[in-house]
Amino acid sequence: MTAAERAALSPQSDEYRLRVGGSKTQVLGWSLYTTLLWLLKTCMAVFYSRLTAGLYNMTRRIRLAYIFIACTYLAVILSILLGCHPLHKNWQIYPDPGNYCQPAVSHIDVYVTVTLNVATDVYLISIPFPILFKARLPWREKLELVVLFSGGLFVMAAGILRCVLIVTAGANGASQAGSWACRETFVAVIIGNLPMIYPVCRRMVKRAGTYWSSHSLHAKGGSTTTGPGGSSGYPLSEGEHQSAHSQSRKKKFRHPLSLPDTQWTQLGTVSDEQIMLAAVDEEGRRVEGEGGIHVVQELIITRH
């Protein structure tokens, strides 16, 4: 608004009331926007802490991530709430309170938020890559995980674009930036949860493929057993079908993140055939002994 428009606007008018309400909503929107993004960052840090449990050299990086997230959130939320003092000047219409007290286009809110948002995202993205590139996985699966953990790049790009629109797009910049803020938070929620459910999704797809392949074979000529050398054997009886089905149901899926207090780091598609295990010693170095990696299981029997 120009200075003349501000002076001519009556405090008793509906437009005045709507403008004041809109400015208050902008302050609340900025606060909720940053709180949501930083909560998702915290969730990713917790996920990485469980993913790298037992790796001594990663513990320090995870702790630094927690400190970094907490400090940057305090800096951002304080810049939003205290960048304009006193707070009620954020919705003051006349006289003009200045750019810092216009929450929709405040440069202090924009620059502080986008800078710290991008910095924390870059740090979080850098955490899993050292483990990923050392993992004994096929390159195709490594590429899938790289894409999975690099989803934060879109969030960073959306945050930067939002900043550019607010600063350069003039009167329409705030509304265009609001649309990109919705896209940014929507994608951030998906990316923040996708790594946790990725193993489950892969397993469901695999089971669906197995089901459809077995269903098509049954439609063609019935289920058969596989004889020596991969040749087709005799059809399965009803009892054998039930036995095989019960055995498959008893074999429960154990998510790798359900065992956080372990000296093994499990990463990847988490299938029955392939699990990447990285062993470490007390100093955080990789254990490379004769015979490769040894998995030790402990059985405890108690008498009641």
Residue 215: what are its φ and ψ, rounded to 5°?
Answer: -65, -40
Residue 270 has a pLDDT of 38
Specify whether the CB–CB gap between 111 and 99 falls below 8 A. no
Query: CA nearest 55: which of 282, 252, 210, 226?
Result: 282
Given this model, what pLDDT does residue 32 score?
93
Q: How far apart are CA 208 and CA 267, in angstroms?
A: 22
List all residues 6 or more positions away from 99 whose beta carbon is below 8 Å from its beta carbon.
105, 106, 107
The span from the CA of 148 to the CA of 200, in Å, is: 14
pLDDT at 134 over 90: no
> 48 versus 135: which is more confidently predicted?
48
- 211 compared with 78, residue with greater pLDDT: 78
- pLDDT bucket at 190, cuts 50 / 70 / 90: confident
- Confidence band (pLDDT; 50, 70, 90) for 70? very high
Is the pLDDT at 277 greater than 80? The verdict is no
pLDDT at 187 over 50: yes
Mean model confidence pLDDT for the chain: 74
* % of the chain with per-residue pLDDT over 90: 27
Long-range contacts of 57-66, Cβ-Cβ distance < 8 Å, separation of 24 or more: 57/284, 58/127, 58/131, 58/284, 61/127, 62/127, 65/123, 65/124, 65/127, 66/42
Select from 196, 148, 202 the least CA-distant residue to 40.
Answer: 196
Please state, in angstroms and rounded to a whole number, the distance separating the CA atoms of residues 23 and 29: 10
SS3 assignment, position 2? coil
Residue 234, H or E segment = strand 232-235
54 band by pLDDT with thresholds 50, 70 and 90 = confident
> What separation, in Å, do the N-terminal and C-terminal C-alpha atoms of the chain show?
79
Residue 25 has pLDDT above 70, yes or no: yes
pLDDT (0 to 100) of residue 52: 79
Each domain of the chain, given as residue ranges in start order, spans 3-202
| Amino acid identity at 79 | S
Three-state DSSP at 232 gives strand
| Beta strands 276-279 and 232-235, pairing class | unpaired
pLDDT mean over 242-258: 47
- Residue 222 CA to residue 246 CA, distance in Å, equals 19
Whether residue 100 contacts residue 106, with contact meaning beta carbons closer than 8 Å, is answered with yes
Distance CA 128, CA 140 (A): 17
The span from the CA of 61 to the CA of 124, in Å, is 9
Answer whether 51's CB lies under 8 Å from 267's CB. Answer: yes
Question: Model's pTM, two decimal places?
Answer: 0.65
CA 226 from chain centre, in angstroms, equals 43
Tell me the C-alpha distance between 269 and 73, whole Å.
33
Angle between helices 107-126 and 14-51 (to 10 degrees): 20
What is the number of helices (H) and of strands (E) in the chain? 9, 4
